[in-house]
Amino acid sequence: MAHAMGNVEERPANWLPIPGDEPEVSRRRAVVDENDLFSKGEMASYHKRQGEGFVKTAHDKLLPFSAVQGTVIGDMENLEKGARVGYDASMTRHGMRVTILKVY
């Protein structure tokens, strides 16, 4: 069946893609530019199960981070101890915390 925007396959209503047979575009990882204006640091610790850890700043301060309370930009699979990150920290009622974390 031809479509105005290009060729579209005709599929049964209950069609699902085969796992691992997805288009190459969806397999690409998010690319995060390291030349941004975020402060740079590294993960001092990160517990994947809890989604929490600490970011070590350039001044050797440890700032807490929680994926539940903050925003993560980039591939969280690469988030582990020693990973290079960019961050934005804000004062919260619990003290200074990382609110946006960019994984490089």
Tens of pLDDT, residues 34-77: 788 999 999 999 999 999 999 999 999 999 999 999 999 988 88
The residues, any chain, with a CB within 8 Å of residue 63's CB and separated by 6 or more, are 41, 54, 55, 57, 87, 89, 96, 97, 98
Give which of 62, 69, 68 is closest to 43, Cα–Cα.
Answer: 62
Level-2 CATH architecture, domain 31-103: Beta Barrel (2.40)
Domain positions in the chain: 31-103
- Give me 65's structure tokens: 């981070």
CA distances from 67 to 3, 54, 62, 80, 97 (A): 42, 11, 16, 13, 11
Going by pLDDT thresholds of 50, 70 and 90, the confidence category of residue 78 is confident
What pTM did the predictor assign? 0.67
